[in-house]
Structure 1
Amino acid sequence: MISPLEYKQRRQKLMSAIGKGVAVFNSAPYAVMHNDVEYVYRQDSDFYYLTGFNESSAVAVLAPNHSEHQFILFVQPKDLAKEIWTGYRVGVEGAKDLYGADAVYSIEELDEILPKYLVSGDRIYYHLGRDLNFNARIIHYWQKLTESYPKRGTGPTGIEDSNFVLHPLRMIKSPAEIEMIRKATEISVKAHKKAQEIAQPGKYEYEIQAEIEHTFRSLGGDGVAYPSIVASGANACILHYIENNRRMEAGDLLLIDAGCSYGYYNGDITRTFPVDGKFDPRQKDIYQLVLEAQLAAIEMVKPGNTYNQYHDKAVEVLVEGLKELKLLQGDSKEIIEEKKYEPFYMHRTGHWLGLDVHDVGNYKQDKENWTTFQAGHIVTVEPGIYISPYITPAEGQPEIPDYWKGIGVRIEDDVLVTESGNEVLTAGIGK
């Protein structure tokens, strides 16, 4: 688990980065499933990264230049009548003891007290996110403080997006974070192995999904990192297929994209395999090509290389292979530049992984320069080929024979950048 000391160190790094500013973070609201039934609560990742606090209706403030308090929390007060219905609250005193805040107040005091902390900074760092009401609240505080600025000569003169300061810090995973992700991937690997053991013709996709998600929870995971994709036959050509209601048949490939969340950190694995245990020749050709592209891409994930290089390598291998299979034709450079491969491969080769499955962080540093890999980065590597029954070839490319249609293959691993190269965290499940 992440220690209180590490949360404190994260806050200190952020306070050093904002200088004379004040940063404000709002907790995630409850999301409604239907009518008055709510989804299981999931804290905002930025809020959790800085505090470890897992309740709604909370605000965290970092005020490095305040004379007394640098870390301030506003939380829901204890209310036993409400806690009977919705669960126990830490409360004001508990939050101070457990989370290391210099001061903790009831969330009901926010309008009165928060402006007194905001005035200690020269700008407000806040991300204008999905909570429109809280966005308006922050803007209102800032407007009132700017109105009175001429009388004080101090206070925030602008609002800056906290994402541009905090998210670069989140990109480099600490040893403790790596261990959390390692645990999430270990559980994910075991779930995928179980799925491969029980998959067979005649079973439904949802039966496999149920076994995967049972394994996540039974091994101590929080549950799914994202809705599980269990896609057999032509369903594998739908990138985010989640209906999972088809009956599998002999001759099908089964694409499973599923990951476990553990302590808010996530695994993300895709494997594709034949339901009846044997590839037919066309499936084998496509699978082998995707595997070659993935292995070549993984080799590019290392310190000093840039983020785009592993995607470019995967595309190069896929294009050459599709040409050999006569599914593409022409000059490879032209095919790549004009993206004529996209009817078969329409997504990037991976993404950052961490507290969010599609984790935060810039892929490009500016218009021309991609982010350079550093030790502590974690990415997914997930090339694929999808030959939909409804595929339309790019202009100037050959028609797709029915022989190939309905095949979808993706292979995905989670890869840690190390000082000397990389480590495939999900190597425990075969390819």
Structure 2
Amino acid sequence: MAPASIAPFQARRQQLIALMMEQGGGIAIIPTARELIRNNDNHFPFRHDSYFYYLSGFSEPEAVIVLIAQAEQQRSILFCREKDPEHEIWDGFRFGPTAAQSNFGFDFAYPIESLNDKMPELLADAGKLFYSNQTEPHLNHQLSQWMQTVRGKSRSGISAPAITIDVRELLDEMRLIKDPHEIALMQRAASISGAAHARAMRHARPGQFEYELEAELLHEFRRHGAQAPAYGSIVASGANACVLHYQHNQAQIREGDLILIDAGCEFDSYAADITRTFPASGKFSAAQKNVYNLVLNAQQAAMAWARAGAVYMDGHHAAVRVLTEGMLDLGLLDKNIVGNVDDAIAGLAYRQFYMHGTGHWLGLDVHDVGRYRDVQKMGDERPYRRLQEGMVITIEPGMYVRPADNVPEQYWNIGIRIEDDILITADGHLNLSRDTPKTVAEIEAEMRSATSVCPA
């Protein structure tokens, strides 16, 4: 299906061409992903390459974008599958080059079968090559053959590109700043995902299995038009919540367990990433509430730094300080051993209970592209970059208390993470997942509301 508006995709192609021109011009080649066999003749569900989709809005397999950036000509070209009524009976609609050219706003479109014939011609005297060797291996081999063909014409005065620039370096910087079209899609993804989390809260009760709540998430994703989960959903109860990347989702939920759900949908290729933690019984115990409110306070401290001009790591440092102070106050860290707050942070004592960062970029990929350190400086000591309007980050502090001799027993197996999707704006930030129940009172009220609509 063609996007509602092709203007954002055309604008991105023009922006990339302009960046190529700044570096002397040349030719860019961006392929989509390949279809992959799952077993025998059954394929995994196809998902296009994010870079390719970012520039095209085109979601069919077997396709390549070529952009020409030269003083005398600037062109966008799409190679895609031909129309094939027989194949369409089995596999569904194909645009074909003619319809794809008009529906997706390319200057030219050709059958993918003509790629090997066309590319040596397009590469001849093209200038620099903008390409990523991290792309599909089969295309690397084809590119080598095309370059050999062009080099074979050197006696005729024709030259092949002598310099290759990683096109993803340019696209990563573009993708970091979301345009209004992207923001609208990400808001939709976050709203659907938030509703799915609330549904899981309403349906949860001791005795269920984790996969039953996963099914509730999937139900809510699909009934609102999301195409798929943005990543493997985490539904972790009890001790499983202390496993950061737990995805088995097979355990039975017990009375007194906390349930940590880290899940988000993908809507028109854009990801949401939300985490909430709630009590299976519908009410937090005193120990659970203490840790939960500590993590919530840490998230609020980090969010205070979610604004244009702040250094990316400022929020992480703020969260770490709040968490470490709380660990000392709750007796999870022994002041006689680790010292005061500053000592505990310097000695990384908090990492017994909090061992990951406080967020990441979010966009077409759940862990979206873009460097976290200043791209203008080199070396290992590069400072972290500053946040800019249009960036989208997650903020996700947590605490994971495993049984240990130095840990009070009432806190054993409490795993809590709270994560929201944050758009950096001109005057601060917008929480895209703001409608997802989050405070202790909101969560307990959401779970109470299920008694009349979700019978046991």
TM-score (norm 2): 0.89
Q: Count residues with an aligned counterpart.
A: 424
* Alignment-derived partner of residue 27 in structure 2: 22
Cα gap change, 1:130/1:97 in structure 2, threshold over 3 Å: closer, same or farther? Answer: closer
Partner Cα distance (1:187, 1:309) in 2: 29
Specify the alignment match of 1:317 in structure 2: 322
Matches within 5 A, 1:46-85: 46-65=51-70, 70-85=75-90
Aligned-partner residue type, residue 214 of structure 1: H
| Residue 378 (structure 1) aligned to one of 359, 373, 392 | 392
The one of 171, 174, 187 aligned to 2:179: 174
Q: Cα 1:122–1:264, aligned 2, differ >3 Å: closer, same or farther? A: same
Output the amino acid matched with 2:17: M
Alignment of 1:194-233 (within 5 A): 194-233=199-238
What is the distance in 2 between the residues matched to 1:153 and 1:30? Answer: 35
**Is 1:346 matched with 2:351?**
no
Structure 1 residues 133 and 338, CA, compared in 2 at 3 Å: closer, same or farther? Answer: farther
Per-residue Cα deviation, 1:229-280 (whole angstroms, up to 9, x for no partner): 1111011011121111111111110111111111111111100011111111
- Indicate the SS of the match to 2:352: coil
Among 411, 425, 428, the residue aligned to 1:404: 411
Q: Residue 26 of structure 2 contacts residue 69 of structure 2 at CA under 8 Å; is this kept in 1? A: yes
1:336 Cα deviation from its structure 2 partner: 2.5
CA separation in 2, counterparts of 1:167 and 1:152? Answer: 35
Superposition deviation, residue 98 in structure 1: 1.2
Structure 1 residue 35 displacement after superposition: 2.5
2:278 to 270, 273, 279: 273
Deviation at 1:338, TM superposition (A): 3.7
Counterpart Cα distance in 1 of 2:416 and 2:363? 25
Pairwise CA distance, 1:201: 1.1
Counterpart position of 1:116? 121
Separation in 2, partners of 1:429, 1:53: 32
Superimposed CA distance per residue, residues 10-33 of structure 1 (whole angstroms, 9 cap, x where no aligned partner): 000000001112110011111232
Separation of aligned partners in 1, 2:46 and 2:151: 36
Match of 2:6 among 4, 7, 12: 4
**Alignment counterpart, residue 35 of structure 1, candidates 37, 40, 45:** 40
Match of 2:401 among 373, 387, 390: 387
1:257 has 2:266 as partner: no
Question: Among the aligned pairs, what percent are the same residue?
Answer: 41
Q: Which moved more, 1:131-140 or 1:281-290?
A: 131-140
> How many Å separate the matches in 2 of 1:67 and 1:107?
26
Q: Distance in 2 between matches of 1:374 and 1:424?
A: 15
Secondary structure of 2:278 counterpart: strand
Q: Distance in 2 between matches of 1:276 and 1:78?
A: 56
Deviates more, 1:151-160 or 1:40-49: 151-160
Q: Which residue of 1 aligns with 2:157?
A: 152
Q: Say which of 274, 282, 287 aligns to 1:282.
A: 287
Could you tell me which runs of 5 or more consecutive residues in structure 2 were left unpaired when the two chains were aligned. 439-456
- Counterpart position of 1:138: 143
- 1:256 counterpart letter in structure 2: I
Q: Work out whether residues 375 and 419 of structure 1, in 8 Å CA contact, stay in contact via their aligned partners in 2.
A: yes
| TM-score between the two structures when normalised by the length of structure 1 | 0.94
CA distance in 1, matches of 2:254, 2:189: 31
User: Which residue of 352, 356, 360 maps to 2:365?
Assistant: 356
Provide structure 1 residue ranges, at least 5 long, that are not aligned to the other structure. Answer: 392-397
Taking only aligned residues, the RMSD between alpha carbons, in angstroms, comes to 1.8
Secondary structure of the corresponding residue to residue 350 of structure 1: coil
TM-aligned CA distance change 1:146 to 1:348, over 3 Å: farther
> Aligned in 2, Cα 1:318/1:76: closer, same or farther, shift over 3 Å?
same
What secondary structure does 2:351 align onto?
coil
Query: What is the aligned counterpart of 2:190 among 167, 185, 188?
Result: 185
1:104 pairs with 2:109: yes
Is 1:423 paired with 2:437?
A: no
Looking at structure 1, the residues matched to 429 and 82 of structure 2 have their Cα atoms a distance apart, in angstroms, of: 46
How much does 1:155 deviate?
Answer: 3.8
Moved more, 251-260 or 145-154: 145-154
Displacement, 1:146?
4.4
